[in-house]
């Protein structure tokens, strides 16, 4: 239902009698949005026509190889119908929508380098993406353009309706755009009566924007406003007053104009490609770098310099392992650009010591987003859409929910972005339930097209980054811990690409009784519980599942091999499956019958105390396994029943084994 319009059955009957004060009020409230909506649609046609007349390069269909020409974003697909009709009249068209696609080889190429990006993500999301496109343009212009060369001197236009401007994601993005003085960014807003009662012009001027007002019926004034943006050193907001047009005014045949714009757009693309060719003749190395980056290919030696992690070394948090890997990548690959939402010191995302991107230093590749999670994620989607970049961004895992709408859009759009989500569970400790993610891991796994990777140690962290870099068919999120994690025996960077693997197998001298599966920090706890269980004669296997999505892509035989006992086993009883993770148990049923997870919010205390309180330590896990084995009628090992422990309670048995 459109806001303010009651379209439910019998809605007319709900109104007061004609002539009454209440009835007149409701009629006004119900009718005004309809008229405004029609006027906004008329203004959208005027705006899209003016944009094509002003910048015919926007007519180029994909694949668009003229990367340095103007870009257009349709926020929440506003104006798409009007723009499509104009392009079709000129013999061109809009590409298919990016919504609903599934990740797979080459899928993300549908997003990159489009002349027109129509984003179905909710009002305001397109503005954030536009900010990302403008940052990409200004960075590449500062990196590759010289006085005689203007490969990347272009503008980024965003068309939106008035309701987009008060949105949180637009407000966050636009305040940052004003601070960074993104002069190439132009937002054209068709007023629709949903801005509210605030002074939008004053607010945007305070952000550092240039604000202009024109009538949707005055094409010359609109063209003049667009022309004025060519030399602006500030982002520009053009507010288009909507005036309801007559049917004849909105149906003027512009076929001849459209054909001319499409022809001019093709000529502009050819001219740009010729300019790129001449640039290559005098700057062969830079030309090759541009070609490589926009092709989406990584250099052959991109993994050189990765750290090595070995069993027996001092434990580090996976966020610390990540810092070294990401630092190596960012230092070696100029397409890596990104930052943190005011938590660089905790997320450890600038070990490469990249220079900040600022209004007077556009060559910088580190973005200080501030506490703007929605804008941060949306801006990175824009950077990915530009082409030639692999953006990354970071905050605490719990705070990715602040930008959930932007994360959904990135997943729908198959944007190749790397999200670094640190402090991934209750073991972050003293900050308490406000910072401790319980449901977030399950929510990320539920989001289509998003790879959620939760490595358990250094080698798996390397493997997670290798997956995130190589698989450019969509976004990837790395869930990283705060506390120390030792490098585990059997850990493998290569096996992360399979989503799950046997980290430590059964002792061949014992009857296989249990499979302990986990991800992240809890894998090490399970390994400790396995040693404890095997010391009392219970055969246990450890399966690490760093990425459920990748594991589900493996063939059935491989997946089943994780849970089946070896062929040599003679008990005839399938091993019991236990899944352990310090998060919501939603989804555990896929892999296990016994679930050790969180069913409440966390608590504020030292991380080790919190972990022990909720049962995430080796003694508690081993005890839970033994109780479950007994409940399911498994025949317990003789050494457990009578041997050195005698007939004793489970807790005493585990305690005795721990002591020994």
172 pLDDT above the threshold of 50: yes
Contact 195, 400 (CB under 8 A): no
3, part of any domain: no
pTM (predicted TM-score): 0.90
320-348 mean pLDDT: 96
| Residues 519 and 447 reside in one and the same domain | no
CATH value at residue 440:
3.40.50.970
| Residues 329 and 472 reside in one and the same domain | yes
| Residues 465 and 591 reside in one and the same domain | no
| Residues 434 and 506 reside in one and the same domain | no
Work out the pLDDT band at 634, boundaries 50, 70, 90.
low
105, part of any domain: no
Q: What pLDDT is stored for residue 95 in this prediction?
A: 76
Q: Quick one: which of 597, 599, 600 has its CA closest to 588?
A: 597
410, part of any domain: yes
If you write DSSP's letter for every residue of 476-502 in order, what string do you get?
Answer: EEEE--SS-BPPPTT--SGGGGGS-EE
| Residues 352 and 203 reside in one and the same domain | no
| Residues 441 and 587 reside in one and the same domain | no
- For residue range 374-421, what is the model confidence (pLDDT) as tens digits? 999 999 999 999 999 999 999 999 999 999 999 999 999 999 999 999
230, part of any domain: yes
Spot the catalytic one: 191, 194, 335, 373: 373
| Residues 540 and 472 reside in one and the same domain | no
Angstrom distance (rounded) from CA 459 to CA 111: 32
Angstrom distance (rounded) from CA 331 to CA 302: 10
Radius of gyration of the chain, Cα coordinates, nearest whole angstrom: 29
Q: What pLDDT is stored for residue 148 in this prediction?
A: 73
| Residues 607 and 511 reside in one and the same domain | yes
427 pLDDT above the threshold of 90: no
Mean per-residue pLDDT of the chain? 87
Residue 26 annotated to the active site: no
Q: Which residue has the higher pLDDT, 614 or 5?
A: 614
**CA dist list (Å): 523 to 257, 420, 453:** 64, 20, 14
Query: Of 445, 480, 515, which residue constitutes the final position of a domain?
Result: 480
- For residue range 483-492, what is the model confidence (pLDDT) as tens digits? 999 999 999 9
Query: Residues of the chain with pLDDT > 90: what percent?
Result: 72
| Residues 505 and 464 reside in one and the same domain | no
How many domains in the chain?
3
| Residues 326 and 350 reside in one and the same domain | yes
Q: Quick one: which of 204, 164, 174, 162 has its CA closest to 375?
A: 174
100, part of any domain: no
Query: Of 438, 454, 480, which residue constitutes the final position of a domain?
Result: 480
21, part of any domain: no
Phi, psi at residue 625, to the nearest 5°? -65, -45
- For residue range 536-584, what is the model confidence (pLDDT) as tens digits? 999 999 999 999 999 999 999 999 999 998 875 656 678 999 999 999 9
CATH value at residue 575:
3.40.50.920
| Residues 542 and 647 reside in one and the same domain | yes
Contact 499, 454 (CB under 8 A): no
| Residues 505 and 474 reside in one and the same domain | no
Domain span at residue 186 reads 39-95+111-244+255-272
């Amino acid at each position: 239902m459109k806001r303010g319009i009651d379209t439910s059955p019998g809605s007319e009957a709900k109104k007061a009698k004609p002539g009454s004060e209440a009835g007149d009020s409701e009629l006004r409230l119900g009718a005004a949005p309809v008229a405004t909506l029609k006027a906004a649609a008329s203004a959208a046609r005027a705006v899209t026509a003016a944009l094509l007349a002003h910048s015919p390069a926007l007519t180029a269909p994909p694949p668009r190889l003229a990367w340095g020409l103007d870009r257009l974003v349709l926020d929440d697909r506003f104006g798409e119908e009007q723009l499509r009709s104009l392009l079709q009249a000129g013999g061109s068209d809009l590409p298919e929508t990016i919504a609903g696609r599934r990740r797979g080889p080459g899928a993300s190429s549908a997003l990159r380098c489009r002349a027109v990006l129509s984003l179905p993500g909710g009002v305001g999301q397109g503005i954030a993406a536009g900010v990302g496109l403008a940052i990409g343009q200004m960075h590449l212009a500062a990196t590759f353009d010289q006085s005689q060369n203007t490969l990347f001197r272009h503008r980024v236009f965003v068309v939106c309706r008035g309701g987009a401007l008060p949105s949180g994601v637009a407000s966050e993005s636009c305040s940052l755009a004003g601070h960074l003085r993104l002069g190439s960014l132009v937002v054209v807003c068709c007023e629709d009566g949903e801005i509210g009662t605030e002074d939008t012009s004053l607010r945007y001027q305070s952000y550092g924007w240039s604000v202009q007002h024109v009538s949707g019926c005055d094409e010359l004034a609109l063209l003049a406003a667009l022309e004025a943006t060519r030399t602006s050193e500030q982002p520009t907001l053009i507010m288009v007053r909507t005036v309801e047009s007559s049917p004849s005014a909105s149906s003027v045949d512009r076929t001849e104009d459209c054909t001319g714009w499409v022809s001019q757009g093709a000529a502009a693309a050819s001219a740009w490609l010729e300019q790129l060719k001449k640039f290559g003749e005098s700057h062969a190395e830079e030309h090759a770098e541009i070609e490589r980056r926009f092709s989406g290919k990584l250099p052959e030696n991109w993994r050189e310099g990765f750290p090595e992690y070995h069993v027996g070394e001092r434990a580090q948090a996976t966020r610390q392992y990540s810092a070294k890997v990401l630092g190596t990548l960012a230092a070696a690959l100029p397409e890596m650009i990104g930052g943190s939402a005011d938590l660089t010191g905790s997320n450890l995302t600038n070990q490469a010591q990249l220079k900040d991107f600022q209004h007077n230093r556009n060559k910088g590749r580190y973005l200080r987003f501030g506490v703007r999670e929605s804008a941060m994620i949306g801006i990175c989607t824009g950077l990915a859409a530009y082409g030639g970049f692999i953006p990354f961004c970071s905050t605490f895992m719990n705070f990715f929910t602040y930008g959930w709408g932007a994360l959904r859009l990135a997943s729908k759009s198959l944007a190749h972005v790397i999200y670094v989500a640190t402090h991934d569970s209750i073991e972050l400790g003293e900050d308490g339930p406000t910072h401790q993610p319980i449901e977030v891991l399950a929510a990320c796994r539920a989001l289509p097209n998003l790879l959620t990777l939760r490595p358990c140690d250094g080698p798996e962290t390397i493997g997670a980054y290798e997956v995130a870099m190589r698989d450019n068919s969509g976004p990837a999120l790395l869930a990283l811990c705060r506390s120390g994690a030792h490098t585990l025996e059997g850990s493998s960077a290569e096996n992360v690409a399979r989503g799950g693997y046997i980290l430590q197998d059964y002792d061949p001298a014992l009857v296989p009784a249990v499979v302990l599966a986990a991800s992240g920090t809890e894998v090490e706890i399970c390994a400790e519980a396995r040693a404890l269980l095997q010391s009392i004669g219970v055969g246990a296997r450890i399966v690490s599942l760093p990425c459920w999505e990748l594991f589900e892509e493996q063939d059935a035989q491989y997946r089943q091999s994780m849970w089946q006992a070896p062929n040599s086993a003679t008990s005839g009883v399938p091993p019991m499956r236990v899944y352990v993770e310090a998060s919501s148990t939603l989804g555990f049923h896929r892999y296990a019958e016994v679930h050790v997870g969180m069913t409440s919010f966390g608590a504020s205390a030292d991380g080790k105390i919190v972990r022990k309180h909720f049962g995430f330590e080796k003694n508690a896990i081993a005890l839970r396994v033994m109780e479950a084995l007994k409940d399911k009628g498994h025949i317990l090992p003789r050494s457990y029943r009578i041997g050195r422990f005698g007939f004793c309670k489970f807790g005493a048995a585990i305690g005795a084994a721990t002591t020994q």
